[in-house]
A = this chain, B = another copy of it.
């Protein structure tokens, strides 16, 4: 079984710097031989990170909220279609051996919370989830995609 790194973050359009950061993170994950898992949509962090992983020849799995793949990023290898709306956020984090969270809205925050609830450390890249989420589990801070990957390796022990 391959090791899966889940990347969560905004589903809204990204500014150029955020887009580049998510893309670089996807590339690093793929180059390190990990599977990238995202929420699967052709939007925001999901799209940029998947594009980066695909550029580097990685395997990309998306877990979609919908019953079909109409909203899917074209960079996915496998589209898991759940038809469960935001309940798929729970699947995203359970299916990830480690979770990296980029800035996002309520959906991303729900994923951070679910990951912590499941006892999984969350690596936050470039933002602060605040004291309430930090008190709910183990949150690690990364300032760059490189540092996020290094922390992920440390958490995974490889």
Chain A residues with CB under 8 Å of chain B are 1-2, 4, 35, 59, 61, 63, 67-69, 72, 74, 76-87, 89-91, 94-95, 105-107, 109-110, 113-114, 116-118, 127-133, 135-137
Contact = CB atoms under 8 A, between A and B. Distances in A.
Nearest to A84: B84
A69 B96 CA distance: 11
A72 B4 CA distance: 15
A105 B68 CA distance: 21
Contact of A107 (B1, B83, B109, B113): B113
The A interface, classified by DSSP as helix, strand, loop or mixed, is mixed
Contacts of A59: 59, 77-78
Nearest to A133: B109
26 contacts: A1-B74, A2-B78, A4-B78, A35-B77, A59-B78, A61-B80, A67-B85, A78-B95, A81-B94, A82-B91, A83-B86, A83-B94, A84-B87, A84-B91, A86-B90, A86-B114, A86-B117, A87-B87, A87-B90, A90-B90, A105-B117, A109-B116, A109-B133, A109-B136, A110-B113, A130-B132
Contacts of A136: 105-106, 109
9 shortest interchain CB distances as A-B pairs:
A130-B130, A110-B113, A106-B117, A106-B136, A83-B85, A109-B113, A106-B116, A81-B94, A87-B87
Nearest to A118: B67
B106 A110 contact: no
